[in-house]
Amino acid sequence: MRLKIPANFRIVRVPCTGKVDIIHVLRAFEKGADGVYVVGCMEGDCHYNEGNFRARKRIEQAAMILDKVGVGGERVKMFNLSSGEGPLFAQYSIEMNNKIIELGPSPIRVAKQNKKNAA
Amino acid sequence: MIIAEKKPIEEIIDEVKDFNRILILGCNECVTVCEAGGKKEVEVLSSALRMYFITKGDEKVIDEKTLERQCDHEYLEELRGNIDDYDAIVSLACGVGVQFAAEKYLTTPLFPGVNTVCLGANEDRGLWTERCQACGSCILARTGGICPVSRCAKRVMNGPCGGSTNGKCEISKDVDCAWQLIVDRLNALNKMGDYEKVAPIKDWSTDRAGGPRTVTREDVKI
For chain A, give every domain's residue range. 17-118
* Helix orientation angle between B39-55 and A107-118, rounded to the nearest 10 degrees: 60
Asked if B47 and A107 come within 8 Å (Cβ–Cβ), the reply is: no
Give pLDDT < 50 ranges for chain A. none
Q: Which residues of chain B make contact with A65, given a CB cutoff of 8 A?
A: 9, 44, 48
Cβ contact B159:B152 at 8 Å? yes
B149 domain-assigned: yes
Asked if A69 and B52 come within 8 Å (Cβ–Cβ), the reply is: yes
Residue A86 host element (H or E): helix A86-103
Q: What pLDDT is attached to residue A118?
A: 84
Tell me: do B56 and B164 sit in the same domain.
no
Mutation pick from B13, B44, B50, B53 vs chain A, by most beta carbons of A within 10 Å, is B44
Q: Which residues of chain B make contact with A27, given a CB cutoff of 8 A?
A: 47
Q: Are strands A36-40 and B172-176 parallel, antiparallel or unpaired?
A: unpaired
- Chains A–B, number of C-beta pairs less than 8 Å apart: 50
Query: Residue A23's closest chain B neighbor by CA?
Result: B44
B55 domain-assigned: yes
Q: Are strands B21-27 and B114-124 parallel, antiparallel or unpaired?
A: unpaired
Asked if B51 and A27 come within 8 Å (Cβ–Cβ), the reply is: no
Q: What pLDDT is attached to residue A85?
A: 92
Q: Does B51 touch chain A (CB under 8 A)?
A: yes
Q: What domain count does chain B have?
A: 2
Query: Residue A58's closest chain B neighbor by CA?
Result: B44
Q: What pLDDT is attached to residue A115?
A: 86
Q: Would you call A68 exposed, middle or buried from its count of C-beta atoms within 10 A (0-12, 13-18, 19+)?
A: middle
Q: Please give the torsion angle defined by the CA atoms of residues B9, B12, B13 and B16, in that order, rounded to the nearest 10 degrees.
A: -160
Q: Which residues contact B140 (CB under 8 A, 6 or more apart)?
A: B146, B147
| CA-angle at B76, arms to B72 and B81, nearest 5° | 155
Q: Which of B44, B55, B57 sits opposite A65 (nearest CB)?
A: B44
Per-residue pLDDT of chain B (222 residues; tens, 9 = 90+): 999 999 999 999 999 999 999 999 999 999 999 999 999 999 999 999 999 999 998 889 999 999 999 999 999 999 999 999 999 999 999 999 999 999 999 999 999 999 999 999 999 999 999 999 999 999 999 999 999 999 999 999 998 999 999 999 999 999 999 999 999 999 999 999 989 999 988 888 899 888 899 999 999 999
Tell me: do B8 and B105 sit in the same domain.
yes
Tell me: do B114 and B138 sit in the same domain.
no
Q: Does B43 touch chain A (CB under 8 A)?
A: yes
Tell me: do B106 and B38 sit in the same domain.
yes
Q: Does B208 touch chain A (CB under 8 A)?
A: no
B217 domain-assigned: no
Domain of residue B186 covers 133-203
Cβ contact A49:A88 at 8 Å? no
Cβ contact A115:B59 at 8 Å? yes
Tell me: do B28 and B91 sit in the same domain.
yes
Tell me: do B14 and B114 sit in the same domain.
yes
Q: What pLDDT is attached to residue A78?
A: 97
CA distance linking residue B33 with residue B42, whole number of Å = 13
Q: What pLDDT is attached to residue B203?
A: 87
Instruction: Order the strands of the B2-6 sheet from edge to edge.
Output: B2-6, B114-124, B127-132
Q: What pLDDT is attached to residue B154?
A: 95
Asked if B44 and A112 come within 8 Å (Cβ–Cβ), the reply is: no
B11 CA: distance to closest CA in chain A (Å): 11
Please state the separation of Cα A6 from the chain's center in Å: 14
| End residue of a domain, out of B83, B118, B153 | B118
B144 domain-assigned: yes
pLDDT tens, residue by residue, A66-76: 999 999 999 99
B215 domain-assigned: no
Amino acid found at B23: L
Q: Would you call A24 exposed, middle or buried from its count of C-beta atoms within 10 A (0-12, 13-18, 19+)?
A: middle
CA distance linking residue B114 with residue B50, whole number of Å = 18
Q: Which residues of chain A make contact with B54, given a CB cutoff of 8 A?
A: 30, 108, 111-112
